[in-house]
Amino acid sequence: MKKWSKLIFKAAALTAVLGGLTACADTETADQTSEASVTEEKVTLQVGATGQSFPNSYMEDDKLVGYDVEVLEAIAGNLGYELEWTTGAFDGLLASLNAGKLDTIANNFAITPERAEAVDFTTPYAYTASGIAVREDSAFESTEDLEGETIGGVAGSNKLTELEAYIAETGLGIEIRQYDTREGPQEDTLKGQVAGYAQDKAVLAATIKKDNLELRVLPENIAIGQVAFPFAKDEAGEKLRKEFDAELQNLLADGTIKALSEKYYGVDVTVATE
C-alpha cells in the first residue's frame, strides 16, 4: 500500500514539474510573441499635402498621388514607416507643421530663409523656376507687358512671396490676388478675370499639357528655388530629417527620384535650374 502511495506521489510531483515547465514555456512564448508584435509594429507619420496640386499631390480615383507623394512614400517605405495623410489648404498645412500636428509636408515645399528659421530641410529633391502663365490669345509677351495688371497666386505659397519680391525688384505696377488653391488663379486667368498667375514653370508645363489648357508661360524667370521636406527643429524632427535625408540621397543616386520626376513632369527636375 505504501509503494502505491509513493508511486502516486511521484507521479503527481512529476506532473506538477512538467506542468510548471509547460507554463514557463507558454509564458516565454507569449513574451516572445509580445516582443515580436512590438518589433514588427510600424511607426505612423503624419504628413500634409493639399491634394489639389498637380503634379505634386492630387487625387486620382480617390487616391492621393503625385511626384512629392510618391517620393515621400518611397523614402518612408524603405525606412519602415507608415504614412497618414492630411489634406488641406497650403497655409493651413504650414500652421499644422509649426504646431507639431504634422511630421512633414510633401507638396512642392520650397526652401526659403524665413522657413529655414522655423524648420529644418532635407536635401532638395526638386529644383524650380517660377514664372507667370497667361492666356494663349493674350497680347502679353513679357512680364513688362503686365504693368497695371492683376496676377494671381496661392496664399501662403512661396510662389506668391517670389512674385511680391519680383514686383518690388522690377518696380512693375502689378496687383496681386490671392487664392486658396492652384485651380483658382488658373480658372480666373482662363476667364480673363486676372491677367495671369505665378507658378513653378515645370508645374505649369505639365498642367497645360495634361489638361490641354489655352495658356502659355512668359519667358522670364521670377525666381529660382529648391524643394525639400521640412521637419521640426526638435529632437524627434532632427532624427526623422537625418533618416529621410540619408534615404533620399540613396534614391537620388540610384535614379528612383529622377524616374518619378519624368513620370509626373515629363522632365528631370532633380537637377539644378540655371
Tell me, rounded to whole angstroms, the distance of Cα 210 from its chain centroid: 21
Tally of domains within the chain: 2
Gap between the Cα atoms of 267 and 262, Å rounded: 5
Say yes or no: 146 and 117 in one domain. Answer: no
Q: Which of 248, 243, 242 lies closest to 260 in space, CA to CA?
A: 248
pTM score of the predicted model: 0.78
Say yes or no: 233 and 158 in one domain. Answer: no
Instruction: Return the pLDDT at 274.
Output: 64
Say yes or no: 257 and 191 in one domain. Answer: no
Say yes or no: 117 and 246 in one domain. Answer: yes
Say yes or no: 150 and 213 in one domain. Answer: yes
Q: Which of 135, 129, 131 lies closest to 213 in space, CA to CA?
A: 135
**Cell, residue 32:** 516572445
Bridge partners of 30, per DSSP, are none
Gap between the Cα atoms of 159 and 109, Å rounded: 10
Cα–Cα distances in angstroms (integers) from residue 117 to residues 7, 94, 111, 165, in the given order: 81, 13, 10, 19
Q: Does the residue 59 lie in any domain?
A: yes
Say yes or no: 102 and 115 in one domain. Answer: yes
**Cell, residue 190:** 482662363
Instruction: Return the pLDDT at 265.
Output: 96
Q: Does the residue 32 lie in any domain?
A: no
Bridge partners of 154, per DSSP, are 179
Residue 24 has pLDDT above 60, yes or no: no
Q: Which of 112, 111, 113, 115 lies closest to 124 in space, CA to CA?
A: 111
Can you give the C-alpha Rg of the chain in angstroms? Answer: 28
Say yes or no: 190 and 233 in one domain. Answer: no
**Cell, residue 157:** 505659397
pLDDT, tens digit (0-9, with 9 covering 90-100), for 182-240: 999 999 999 999 999 999 999 999 999 999 999 999 999 999 999 999 999 999 999 99
**Residue 60 domain boundaries:** 44-123+229-264
Instruction: Give me the mean pLDDT over the 162-181 stretch.
Output: 96
Strands 126-135 and 223-227: antiparallel
272 band by pLDDT with thresholds 50, 70 and 90:
confident
Residue 13 has pLDDT above 80, yes or no: no
Say yes or no: 221 and 138 in one domain. Answer: yes
Name the DSSP letter for residue 89: -
53-57, 94-98, 115-119, 126-130: the lowest-pLDDT one: 94-98
**Cell, residue 189:** 486667368
Instruction: Describe the crossing of helices 235-253 and 256-264 by its angle, rounded to 10 degrees.
Output: 80
Q: Which of 65, 105, 111 lies closest to 237 in space, CA to CA?
A: 105
Q: Does the residue 99 lie in any domain?
A: yes
* CATH number of the domain bearing residue 87: 3.40.190.10
Peptide bond into 55 cis (omega under 30): yes
Say yes or no: 53 and 119 in one domain. Answer: yes
